Structure 1
Amino acid sequence: MKYAIITGASKGLGKAITQRLITEGVHVVSVSRTENEELKKLAQEKQVYYNHFPCNLSLENEVQEVFMDIAHYIFQKNPTEILLINNAGVVEPIHKVGCMDPTPITRNIQINLIAPIYISNLFLNKAQHTNTVVQIVNITSGAAVRPIDGWSVYCSSKAGLNMFTQTTALEQAELKTPHLIIAFNPGIMDTDMQAVIRSSSTDAFKELERFKAFKENNQLVQAAVVSNALIDLVLSGDAENGKIYQINELIQK
């Protein structure tokens, strides 16, 4: 039996991913601060197992407690495979270094980098004592490989996530485990994160007008298109361990 755990599942890409997995008959655990009732209703309609665990991923102790509960809950069901999608992310603080408040800096690194590291470590550890295969997908960004004025923290946390993905894949290959970990750059989507970016100021973010133009010119990709490309890859069994996938290469196939 296959289970999927999706962080940030209540909206945006996380919601689209969860909807697709439910329609595929995958048992789903949703993780976010608030539950999306649409997902719960869809799972009931499709007669697919669904459970929601509320969690504020910016709080270290809460992440540890909630995911220990999730791990215990799922592994006792002896799943054949666990699909872990570290999707939750924040772009803030959007400002130049020297002008940022410390609290959003810590929140960004906790959500974008520390939480995925902790969660991945936990599930790979638990899987050592079972026959369960763990497949991890870390949602990254093009900002991980390109410095962007005003996005120093976001660029850094996503770059760290990429390196964590590649290093973990190397380790799992050396250990000859069946586990797999990849990163996926979804590109520029029409989500709440883009709205946050557009609400910033030119003083804080030099490329503001460019990002506003993406919306005005209908250049933002819909989350459902992105989620379908990702889940097609994941369910195909063709994903390459340690690879950082780009949305454009998947859509073109």
Structure 2
Amino acid sequence: MSSSFLSGKVFLLVTGASQGIGRQIAQSFAPLLGDDSSVLLIARNAGGLQETVNKLPRGLSVHTASIDLSTATAHKLKDVINKVLGAAGAMQFEKAVVVHNAASIGDLTKSTVAMTDFKIWQEYYDLNVFAPAVLNGVFMEIFNDYTKVVRLVINISSFNAIQPYEFMGYYCSGKAAREMFFKVFAIENPNVNVLNYSPGPVDTDMLHAVHTYTSEVKHEETKKFMKNRHVLTTEQTVTRLLEVLKLQKYKSGSHVDYYNN
């Protein structure tokens, strides 16, 4: 399958690329990239990043950065990207794609009335909301209108960005805030293609954590959701993501779920 947004000389950045959906995005997107494209994979787990690199086509220019996005500064992120770009800079590329995938589930033991620790809130939002917002700003500063580079921003969202579930206050609120940020970004930047993609229930460590915990406690609505949804493989959901990008039926900034027609 081809996608016009991945053809040609592309700079591709994927966060959370050491496992799960992030790894699959790197695997599925990489073979579609044109000659002389560059890939930058970011995650905390250096070993996991190398495993992802080993699954990508040989001959492709792939770079990794083992970074904790929750503590990274804009200056650090800019340096990491510019190091990959080298002296030729952003203008050497026809297209620039950033996939904001890195995320965490949060504490599933806390009801909303028990979520009273400012430090825990700060740490959760640092990774799940503030980091993608700052990284996106840095990316746009580098690949700005002046560069004439076609830009695509993909935020890996969730059904939980629009549907609340008990004991998932951190995750639901974080996903909602993150998605709204990218909706505002899309309005402000009409020359950038923005997609909030909800991948569905995918067979990842995060889903296993939710399933394990909710099976032990009385989270009836969450259990019902888990029971009624067919669990997808990472390959299935990323294949659907590529279809969405190819068809281009969405308005920039829209929330598109795996199950949307």
Same topology, TM > 0.5? yes
1:97: how far off? 1.9
Are 2:74 and 2:138, in contact at CA under 8 Å, matched by a contact in 1? no
The whole-number CA distance in structure 2 between the counterparts of 1:163 and 1:212 is: 25
TM-score (norm 2): 0.82
AA aligned opposite 2:127: I
1:102 Cα deviation from its structure 2 partner: 4.6
- Structure 1 partner of 2:68: 56
Name the SS of the counterpart of 1:248 in structure 2: coil
- The answer to whether structure 1 residue 169 and structure 2 residue 177 are counterparts is no
Q: How far did 1:239 drift? A: 5.2
Match of 2:206, SS?
Answer: helix
Any conservation in 2 of the 1:144–1:156 contact (CA below 8 Å)?
yes
- 1:6 pairs, out of 3, 14, 30, with 14
Listed as ranges, the matches of 1:9-48 within 5 Å are 9-25=17-33, 27-35=38-46, 36-43=49-56, 45-48=57-60
What's 1:98 paired with? 113
The question of 1:79 aligning with 2:93 is answered yes
Q: Report the 3-state secondary structure (helix = DSSP H, G, I; strand = E; otherwise coil) of the residue aligned with 1:240.
A: coil
1:109 partnered with 2:125: yes
Q: Note the C-alpha offset of 1:191.
A: 0.5
Q: TM-score, normalised by structure 1?
A: 0.84
Distance apart, 1:240 and its partner CA:
3.1
Specify the code of the residue in structure 2 equivalent to 1:93: D
* 2:160 equivalent to 1:143: yes
Distance 1:190 1:104 in 2: 27
Distance in 2 between residues matched to 1:219 and 1:229, nearest whole Å: 15
* Residue of structure 1 equivalent to 2:141: 125
Aligned match of 1:69: 79
| One-letter amino acid of the counterpart of residue 64, structure 1 | A
Query: Residue in 2 aligned with 1:189?
Result: 202
Q: For 1:76 and 1:235, locate their aligned partners in 2 and report how far apart those are by CA, in whole Å.
A: 28
Q: What is aligned with 1:179?
A: 192
**Count of paired positions:** 240
> C-alpha separation between the residues in 1 aligned to 2:103 and 2:259?
20
What CA distance in whole angstroms lies between the structure 2 residues aligned with 1:90 and 1:204? 22
Using the alignment, how far apart are the partners of 1:103 and 1:57 within structure 2? 17
Q: Does 1:152 align with 2:169?
A: yes
Residue type of the partner of 2:210? I
- C-alpha distance in 1 between matches for 2:80 and 2:150: 16
Q: Structure 1 residues 159 and 180 mapped into 2: Cα distance closer, same or farther (>3 Å)?
A: same
C-alpha displacement at 1:27, in angstroms? 2.8
The question of whether the paired residues in 2 share the 8 Å contact of 1:93 and 1:104 is answered with: no
Question: AA paired with 1:57?
Answer: L
Cα distance, 1:208 vs structure 2: 5.3
Instruction: Give the conservation status (yes or no) of the 8 Å contact 1:9–1:15.
Output: yes
Query: % of aligned pairs identical?
Result: 20
Q: Distance in 1 between matches of 2:249 and 2:12?
A: 18
Aligned partners of 1:57 and 1:115 also within 8 Å? yes
- Alignment partner of 1:98: what SS? helix
1:22–1:42: 8 Å Cα contact kept in structure 2? Answer: no
Distance 1:199 1:42 in 2: 29
Provide, for residues 84-127 of structure 1, a one-character-per-residue CA deviation record: whole Å limited to 9, x for no partner: 00001111121202334554432321222111111111222221
Q: Is the 8 A contact 2:165 2:222 kept in 1?
A: no
